[in-house]
Structure formats: structure tokens, C-alpha cells
Amino acid sequence: MIRALDPILDRWRLTALLASAGMLAIAHGFQTFGELAPCTLCLRQREVYWVAAGVALAGMILTRLQGGARFRPAFNLVLGLIFLVGTAVAVYHAGAEWKWWPGPSACASSGGAVSLDAMSGLLAGQAITAPACDTAPWVFAGLSMAGWNAAISLILAALSLAAAAYERGKR
């Protein structure tokens, strides 16, 4: 194991909580400041980070209780599984964007971001279209947000599993 990672692995639940909060903040930043409305799969990817944050927080609290330290590897393993689910959702989303497979029928290509004008129209009784899951509204270095999320989720999963092994090795 790489010694430089020891401080991160030793406090993995806190690191996972901060990473999840950071990813959620970035997603909300793109939505708020970049005016990129999330599609159904984008929201599913966010749910994974909310679950991971909750599990990480519960792990931080429960492992501080008397006898709770023995559950550190289990919490890290569960976080690894959660981040692997996040990786799968993000890969599915990225694949739908690249047209490798169809995305969910609930969010096929039919429009762009939901604007304030569209929301006003909705209040006036007009129909609006939700953002499409099979169109990447933002790409950097050849990867869409879903692609970057897949890579980051995979790294977080690997670090979670490394943290579980690290904790088991401390016994």
C-alpha cells in the first residue's frame, strides 16, 4: 500500500463525505451557474452521492461509539459498493450519450435545458420538455459530465476498497 495514502485511508469516511459533498456542489454549480438542467440520469447519479454521504456520516458517528471501531472496514466496503453503483449509473449515462445503447425512454432527445421562460410557460399551461439523457450538454477533454463522473466514482470505489483493506490490516 502506498504510505502517502495512509492519512486519507485512515479517515476514509470523512474523505468520502467531503468527496460526495464536493461532487454534489459541482453538479449544482453546473445547474445553477452553467444553466445546465439535469436529466433523469443526472439526478440518479446525484442520488448515489447523497447515499454515500449519508453512509459516510453514519460511519463517522457509529465508529466513534464504544466498540464501533470494528465496523470501520464494513463501512468502507459499503462505501465502495455505493461508488461502484455510481460508476455503473454514470457509465450507463455516458453510453447513452455516445449512442452505444438506448437511454431510458423517460428522457430521450427532445429538447434542451429547462429555462425560466419554459417554467413560466408551464405555469401558463404550456408543455415543456425535460433535458435529454442521450445528449451531452458539456464535454471536456473528450468526456461528458457523465464520463467524468464514471471515472471519479471508480476512483472513489477503489479508494473505498483500499480503505477497507487498510482498516483490516490495522487489526
Distance separating alpha carbons of residues 53 and 148, to the nearest angstrom? 19
pLDDT of residue 35: 83
Q: Which regions of the chain are under pLDDT 50? A: 1, 110-112
- The DSSP 8-state label assigned to residue 170 in this structure reads T
Closest CA to 109 of 134, 126, 85, 92: 134
pLDDT of residue 8: 85
pLDDT of residue 36: 84
Cα dihedral sign, 38-40-45-51: positive
pLDDT of residue 84: 97
Contact 74, 12 (CB under 8 A): no
Cα dihedral sign, 7-12-18-22: positive
Distance separating alpha carbons of residues 61 and 42, to the nearest angstrom? 29
Average per-residue pLDDT in the chain? 85
pLDDT of residue 123: 78
